[in-house]
């Protein structure tokens, strides 16, 4: 998993919106790949990384909703419902991609 985390977060800690977006999307891709491979350890680690980015400051309702979705994803992993978990991660990746494109291009 260390390799995946390094890939997702890189060696530098750039704080530009584009760099932050890329790290977020890479983390979702790691989560998706873990679902496809049915790798519970990697999937849980990816969710932990995603949860660590949540902040209630800009939008408390969004943070609460994402926390609930991530909790559902943890349950899906526990229940070995890999298709549902992977679909959830794919949808979230798509939502963030659309959001970024609307607001930064």
10 band by pLDDT with thresholds 50, 70 and 90: very low
What are the C-alpha distances in Å from 85 to residues 4, 18, 38?
18, 26, 10
pLDDT band at 14 (very low <50, low <70, confident <90, very high): low
Calpha distance 67→21 (Å, rounded): 19
Band (16; pLDDT cuts 50, 70, 90)? confident
Alpha-carbon span 27 to 17, nearest angstrom: 15
Give me the percent of the chain exceeding a pLDDT of 90.
74
Q: Give the span between the Cα atoms of 42 and 5, in whole angstroms.
A: 10
Locate the domains of the chain by residue range: 16-104
Single pTM value for the model: 0.82
Q: Does pLDDT of 9 surpass 50?
A: no
């Amino acid at each position: 998993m260390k390799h995946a985390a390094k890939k997702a977060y890189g060696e530098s800690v750039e704080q530009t919106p584009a760099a932050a977006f890329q790290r977020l999307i890479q983390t979702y891709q790691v989560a998706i790949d873990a679902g496809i491979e049915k790798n519970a350890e990697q999937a849980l680690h990816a969710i932990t990384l995603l949860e660590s980015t949540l902040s209630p400051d800009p939008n408390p309702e969004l943070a609460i909703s994402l926390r609930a979705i991530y909790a559902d994803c943890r349950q899906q992993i526990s229940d070995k419902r890999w298709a549902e978990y992977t679909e959830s991660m794919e949808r979230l990746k798509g939502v963030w991609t659309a959001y970024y494109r609307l607001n930064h291009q």
